[in-house]
Amino acid sequence: METVLEILKITLPALLVLLTAYFVISKTLKNDQDRRRQETALQNVKVITPVRLQAYERVVLLLERIAPESLIMRVSKPDITAQQMHILLINTIRNEYEHNLSQQIYMSNEAWQMVNNARVTVTKMINNVAIQIPPTATGNELSRQILEEMIEMENDPCRTAIEFIKKEVARVM
Domain extent at residue 60: 49-172
- Overall number of domains in the chain: 1
Q: Which residues contact 20 (CB under 8 A, 6 or more apart)?
A: none
Say how far apart CA 90 and CA 122 lie, in whole Å. Answer: 9
3-state secondary structure of 77: coil
The per-residue pLDDT for 31 is 93
pTM: predicted TM-score of the whole model, two decimal places: 0.76
Instruction: Look at residue 138 and tell me if it is in a domain.
Output: yes
Q: SS3 helix, strand, coil % of the chain, rounded to 5? A: 85, 0, 10
**Residue 117 near residue 161, CB atoms below 8 Å:** yes
Task: Count other Cβ atoms within 10 Å, centred on residue 107.
Answer: 20
Q: HSE of 69 in the Cβ direction (CA atoms, 13 Å)? A: 9
Instruction: Look at residue 118 and tell me if it is in a domain.
Output: yes
Instruction: Look at residue 147 and tell me if it is in a domain.
Output: yes
Would you give per-residue pLDDT tens digits along the chain (173 residues)?
788 888 888 888 889 989 999 999 999 999 999 999 998 878 877 777 888 999 999 999 999 999 999 999 999 988 999 999 999 999 999 999 999 999 999 999 999 999 999 999 999 999 999 999 998 899 999 999 999 999 999 899 999 999 999 999 998 77
**Residue 68 near residue 150, CB atoms below 8 Å:** yes
Instruction: Look at residue 34 and tell me if it is in a domain.
Output: no
- DSSP characters over 27-58: HHHHHHHHHHHHHHHHHHHHHHHHHHHHHHHH
Instruction: Look at residue 18 and tell me if it is in a domain.
Output: no
**Residue 104 near residue 62, CB atoms below 8 Å:** no
**Residue 107 near residue 57, CB atoms below 8 Å:** no
The per-residue pLDDT for 173 is 75
Instruction: Look at residue 26 and tell me if it is in a domain.
Output: no
Instruction: Look at residue 36 and tell me if it is in a domain.
Output: no
Instruction: Look at residue 23 and tell me if it is in a domain.
Output: no
